[in-house]
Amino acid sequence: MKVISQNTAFDGMQGVYAHESDACKCEMTFAVFVPPQAISEPRPVLWYLSGLTCTHANVMEKGEYRRLASELGLIIVCPDTSPRGNEVPDELTNWQMGKGAGFYLDATEKPWAEHYQMYSYITEELPSLISQHFRADMSRQGIFGHSMGGHGAMTIALKNPDRFKSCSAFAPIVQPSMADWSAPALEKYLGADRSAWRRYDACALVEDGARFPEFLIDQGKADSFLEDGLRPWLFEDAIKGTDIALTLRMHERYDHSYYFISTFMDDHLKWHAKRLGCL
């Protein structure tokens, strides 16, 4: 692991790091904010997964999480959204596929399968690195994200309920296998058999028996992607009759941008802190 940058912020340390990934077969970059409390004791880990076209840097520069994360004692881990490098396949004219659009899945189809193993990277390889190099309490982990990252957070939580104690999302893609916004990417990554897509679809996972105690979702009503790609009410319908609790908040005038995310970031940090034993 190499250090790209380290900067003191709110008495904690915001770092950016890179390493050679076995899962993605390329160099991967990620950001970690370590609060001051980690000097003396291991602290809970909160994973933030970014959306389409993003890298680790978007939330780090625009998400406004460090002040409260420092106060609450939360380690914030911000991975990249896809493998990177000249050897990594891409679709240069398609922002919904390839670099910046890994969808947090393990691809099975050529040419994507060799590098696009983001589910394994996020759930196995990177956690191992975090536990080795940071004073992290891996028994207390939460996960959240935005858009494609909200999809990733929800599906990862549903498939790993014993690992994560909390999950929330900003404007998530809750049913990517049926949305025009995401279905073409799933077909390219996973093949034409739609049954394989269900492992990476929050609504389908619930239908197939996956469970997680509760979710918080914030969604802007002025989001231009609301009707075509996001549709959080579909997840609300999917959990009916289950023991899954959902707090779905629809906000007038808010769009899909980091202005929206930064507005409600404190609410999400407090949501996770309460469930991770920090409040």
Active site residues: 147, 223, 256
111 upstream amide cis, omega within 30 of 0: yes
Q: How far apart are CA 73 and CA 122, in angstroms?
A: 22
Q: How many residues does the chain have?
A: 279
Q: How far apart are CA 121 and CA 209, in angstroms?
A: 24
Cβ(178)–Cβ(167) below 8 Å: no
3-state class of 142 per DSSP? Answer: strand
Q: How many CB atoms lie within 10 A of CB 22?
A: 11
* Close Cβ partners of 210 (under 8 Å, ≥ 6 residues apart): 158, 159, 161
